[in-house]
Amino acid sequence: MTIPANCTLRPVNTGWFAEMAELENRSGEVGYSDNWLRFAGATMDYSTLYKALAIFDLFHREGITIEKIHSYVLNAQTRFLNSMDNSDHPILNRNNLICHDLEEGHGHFFTFNCSQPEISQRVQEELKARAVLCDRRQQFLRVGFAIYHDKDETYQQVFNS
């Protein structure tokens, strides 16, 4: 971020990162640097940007592309759907699965409508006990897919109690 010379704009809300250059002279109130750090916010951790750049470099070196990642995830989702279809799970089934058309475009997650928040919480707890992590919002339970899932994963542990 660049700040025009002689700019005196100050953020309305900020935190300790904004006074990083002024820590030695800290007073009782939040001070601001004279540089771009005054707009840094309360919890900005720039190491994540360096990590992202390192990952982009790794992907470039290894030939990992968005298309390859998407294809990998689609294969994982297909295996998940096959396991789901072969199970008799009362909640995690196609009747409760929202928008799952892999041919027409789909996110890298599946969302199940569990009808009630208590049911989605119970299913989430059951899955966690089987080392399956997912998240939920009210009655909706989401299961995500990514390149860190093993290419031979069958997802049977999701459906077996």
Alpha carbon distance 58, 54 (integer Å): 6
The mean pLDDT of the chain is 84
Predicted model pTM: 0.69
The fold adopted by the segment(s) 66-159 is Aspartate Aminotransferase, domain 1 (3.90.1150)
Asked whether 56 and 18 are in contact (CB, 8 A), the reply is: no
**Cα-flanking dihedrals φ and ψ of residue 113, to 5°?**
-90, 105
Q: What does the domain layout of the chain look like in residue ranges?
A: 16-62, 66-159
Q: What is the pLDDT of residue 21?
A: 52
Least Cα distance to 92 among 146, 150, 138, 161 occurs for 161
Reading the chain (161 residues) residue by residue, the pLDDT tens digits are: 567 788 877 766 555 554 555 544 555 555 666 777 766 665 667 888 999 999 999 999 999 999 999 999 999 999 999 999 999 999 999 999 998 777 787 889 999 999 999 999 999 999 999 999 999 999 999 999 999 999 988 898 898 86
Q: Which tokens sit at 79?
A: 């295996």
